[in-house]
Amino acid sequence: MADRRRTTIGATVSAAAVVGALALATGLAAAGQAGPDAAGTDAPDSVPPPPATPLVDTVRLPDGFQPEGIAIDPGDKTAFFGSLADGSIFRADLVTGAGEVIGTAPGTPSVGMALDGQGRIFVAGGRAGDARVVDPDTGDVLASYDLAAEPESFVNDVTVTDTGAFFTDSTNPVVYHLPFDAAGELPAPAQVRRIPLTGDIVYGDGINANGITASPSGTNLIIVQSNTGLLFTVDPTTGVTDRTGIVDVNGDGLLIGGDGLLVLGQRLLVVQNRANTVVELQINAAGSQGDIVGRITDQRFDVPTTIADAGDLLYLPNARFGIEVTPDTEYEAVAIDRP
């Protein structure tokens, strides 16, 4: 093009340049492309997004509620809390902190809780030995399951994977599996699997298997045994357990009182309830090896039990174990920065 302009007479070059410039300007305008503004500076390529709506750092729960479990829907910034007292579920708006009890309390505990991809709330029933699946909008029970075959049981915590919901029993060495079908539908009661825990874990007095989550790779489950402070991987098909190797340069690597678990990438957070501490581990994909890389404490902790993710914040309900509970006892959940 440059060579052609040099071999064309001057009048022709000038006309062509004018036509070309007009065509270019018209094309840019039609395409909606940004050009120089009146002052000769480039217009911004895009408008920056508005700042994220801040979330509350404290959620006030009903007096006498006795919270334990928590589940969060980060999409609509809603948290759900379960009551050890009567099984009530409290739904809270994390933007305003306002909330309400949904549904009808069953009169038995709500302990660990988890949400699945369809928004259903899975609730561990504690000493009732059962599990419930609850509608997050109405609190209606969509399905209920008698999990424990033994009269003495404590169905403590739950995690949800692509294959279904898995529950721990702190009294009996077993994991309960509610398998989903290909469409994610809930199983019939007869389809519930009771998977004996074998291998390295040994049950003793007190609270045994407690918190449960999936490993980063999704191939294993991870559980913490509260009374021994040990972590284990669990084969979700066979129930074979292997003790997780933990490197802790500042201690013995034991997580006594380990309760709720949360995996963030290849980090595992373990709530040590009565120690008022969240322990942070860097773990491998299978969950079979971990290094303790940090411990988080907060003066607002008052025996936190479980933990859930809400973007830049993590929320923990204060169970306040060990105090005298009255109908006027105050409870709350507190937020900490995500490490």
Region of 229 (left: φ > 0; alpha: ψ -120 to 50; beta: rest) is left
Mean model confidence pLDDT for the chain: 89
pLDDT top residue among 150 and 260: 260
Nearest partner of 286 among 217, 240, 234, judged by Cα? 217
Domains, the chain, ordered by start: 1-48 (no CATH), 58-337 (2.120.10.30)
pTM score of the predicted model: 0.85
C-beta neighbour count of 35 within 10 angstroms: 10
Encode pLDDT of 218-230 as tens digits.
999 999 999 999 9
For residues 29-42, give the mean pLDDT. Answer: 43
Nearest partner of 147 among 181, 180, 123, 117, judged by Cα? 123
Encode pLDDT of 110-122 as tens digits.
999 999 999 999 9
Burial class (CB in 10 A: 0-12, 13-18, 19+), 291: middle
Tokens 């708006």: give the residue: 93
Greatest C-alpha distance within the chain: 103
Please state, in angstroms and rounded to a whole number, the distance separating the CA atoms of residues 287 and 269.
12
Confidence band (pLDDT; 50, 70, 90) for 74? confident
Percentage with pLDDT > 70 across the chain: 86
For residues 4-21, give the mean pLDDT. Answer: 36
Of 4-8, 60-64, 242-246, 310-314, the range with the lowest mean pLDDT is 4-8
For residue 250, what pLDDT is reported? Answer: 87
Residue 159 has pLDDT above 90, yes or no: yes
State the DSSP code for 42.
B
Percentage with pLDDT > 90 across the chain: 82
The HSE-up count of residue 283 (CA atoms within 13 Å, CB side) is: 31
In the sheet where 174-179 sits, what is the strand order?
A: 155-161, 164-169, 174-179, 193-196
For residue 195, what pLDDT is reported? Answer: 98
For residue 206, what pLDDT is reported? Answer: 96
Encode pLDDT of 246-271 as tens digits.
999 989 999 999 999 999 999 999 99
